Structure 1
Amino acid sequence: MAMEIYQQEEDKSLIANSMDEVENVSFRECMVSFHTKSIYNVLSEMVRHYLGFVTSYDSNYIMQKAKEFANQNFDSFAHKEIPTCFTEILEKPMKKKEQIKLLKGANLTYDQLGALFAQAENKGYSFSHYHYQGDPSSVNKDELPKFIHVKEDGTVEYYGKTTLTEGQMKQVVEQADVLIARILDNDEHWHCFLQTFKGLKGQEAGLQGSQPHLHYISDSFGISRNSLVEMLRKGEYPSTPVHIPLKENEEKVE
């Protein structure tokens, strides 16, 4: 896990965590480990600010509590009910046309997406995570501050020195070329759930491009897993007719 702590004010820090690439691992172990480290970083900063920068504290105890919270968080979504179409594609060998037909009109909440990965592990699937981020095209990379965040109200929060205006920094974030892919593997079959930064913001072309969504690809789509990963590492991916809307709120499962 990559982690940065940006000291903004004497009593305020900004913590940025990002998940490293992993291949063929346990989804539960991977997520619990990631969230444990993330929670530990937050708790440590809170304790450090509360007790003072020179005061020592029990880091082992904080790590123990962070792991407890991480396990509780995982269990809170792991057993959620998911649409039966996703269970079927994990359990039954299918041709591309069958998968496309089955997933037509399907959607997931964010919790259900996590539950899908958790339940896939129980069916013998391993988990892989790939991440691509291209360099910004509108500005020189050396001009960027260390951290940029566009808030919900449209204002920009950043850390580090930069010559860019707030408008330029906002443009960098909004036009970011980011690709995240998670692949579930068993001995014979794999399923890829892919998202782009623009897709998550509902800024892609196409019928469902105006809402946050995932792209679905599988071994039945005529591409090898190795070829898919090679494309992902270049920030590319094959076209797919399966777009799965991502919902914020829990909905009744059909």
Structure 2
Amino acid sequence: MKMLKIYSEDKKSFYRLFYDEDIECVNPIKYFKDRSITSSYYLIKDQIEHKLQGIPEEVRNKIIAKKANEIWKERFESISNESLDKEFLVLLSAESKKDQLKLLKGKTLATHALAKLLFLANLEFGFSFSRYTSEKLPGNIEKSQLPLLFELSDNEESVSIIGETTLKEGELKNVIIHRKNIVANFLDKGKEWHCFYLTFKALSGKESWNDGEPHYHYLSDKFGLSRKDVIQGIKDGKVPSTPVHIGIKDYRK
């Protein structure tokens, strides 16, 4: 995980951003635990460190680390208690595409249920976890032209900007609305793999499936595709074709 600290134009406040590069064949529980504790540690430190100035730094850090670990324990418990239909676990040992399609027909996942599936797939079936992402900007715009940070207002009428850019506000708005982002989560064991991927377009309700319901797409080694080709397609911003859509319940709540 990488981290950025970006100050506002007046230098009186800042944003702390956390992001990942590609992740390959890791233990999902350890990955999410480390990510949660690290991000929580710095967020807590940003919020309360000024209140602990009279306490030695070593003690201060231990207090913050203890709280970050408590937050992870709460998250892990919440994920563990999330509902998950048994068909998702049966899916991991299904022997054909036909069986997988049957198991996933009409299925949905609660917001944190995919994390539970990743954890159980590792604990009970020995699958490792990988994640690949891609972002394609509209037109001929390059990432080097973008400011450090820019955010579209809720009504999509204005853009807040931090940093230098040669682009106009309308162009930045267009970048946010029309960029193509894909996040693909893989479970791997030997030659077996399962891929649950989503697009930002699907999360924002701008894909037509089921009246714009946020959803995952699903692929596996049983679909006659190579893992390498699927990942390359994702990197190229070309969403692999699949008939499987898995709704995400209560995502916008």
- TM-score, normalising length: structure 2: 0.85
Deviations 1:14-68 (A, max 9, x none): 121112321111111000111111112211222345568xx95733442342133
Is 1:184 aligned to residue 160 of structure 2? Answer: no
| Residues 185-242 of structure 1: CA deviation (Å, up to 9, x unaligned) | 123521100011112112235x447221111001110012222223223223420000
Q: Which residue of 2 aligns with 1:168?
A: 171
Q: Which of these residues, 144, 159, 166, is aligned with residue 162 of structure 2?
A: 159
Count of aligned pairs between the two proteins: 246
Q: SS in structure 2 opposite 1:100? A: helix
Q: 1:26 to 1:204 in 2, by over 3 A?
A: same
Q: Which AA in structure 2 matches 1:185?
A: D
- Residue aligning to 1:4: 4
* RMSD of aligned Cα (Å): 2.5
Structure 1 residues 226-235 or 80-89, which shifts more?
226-235
2:217 counterpart residue number: 215
Counting only pairs closer than 5 Å after superposition, residues 15-94 of structure 1 correspond to structure 2 as: 15-48=16-49, 50=51, 58-90=60-92, 92-94=93-95
AA matched with 1:31: F
The residue number in structure 1 matching 2:108 is 107
Of 162-171 and 183-192, more deviation after overlay is shown by: 162-171
Paired AA for residue 186 in structure 2: I
Task: Give the whole-Å Cα distance in 1 for the aligned partners of 2:231 and 2:111.
Answer: 24
Shift of 1:244: 1.0
- Structure 2 counterpart SS, 1:230: helix
Over the matched positions of the two proteins, sequence identity in percent amounts to: 32
Could you say what secondary structure the match of 1:99 adopts?
helix
Contact 1:179 1:232 in 2 (8 A): yes
Residue 4 of structure 2 aligns with an amino acid whose one-letter code is E
How has the CA–CA distance of structure 1 residues 228 and 141 changed in structure 2, closer, same or farther, with 3 Å as cutoff? closer
In the alignment, which residue of structure 2 is the partner of 1:128? 130
Distance change >3 Å, CA 94–CA 172, structure 1 → 2 = same
> What displacement does 1:94 show?
2.8
Q: Between 165-174 and 109-118, report the one with greater CA deviation.
A: 165-174
Q: Secondary structure at the match of 1:46?
A: helix
Unaligned runs of 5+ in 1: none
Instruction: Quote the residue 2:199 is aligned against.
Output: 196
CA distance in structure 2 between the aligned counterparts of 1:18 and 1:223, rounded to whole angstroms: 29
Is the 8 Å Cα contact of residues 96 and 222 (structure 2) preserved in structure 1? yes
- Would you say 1:248 and 2:250 are equivalent positions? yes
Alpha-carbon distance in structure 2 between the residues aligned to 1:247 and 1:191: 21
Give, in whole Å, the separation in 2 of the partners of 1:143 and 1:190. 37
Alignment partners' CA distance in 1, 2:138 and 2:204: 18
| Amino acid across the alignment from 2:181 | V
CA contact (8 A) 1:199 1:209 kept: no
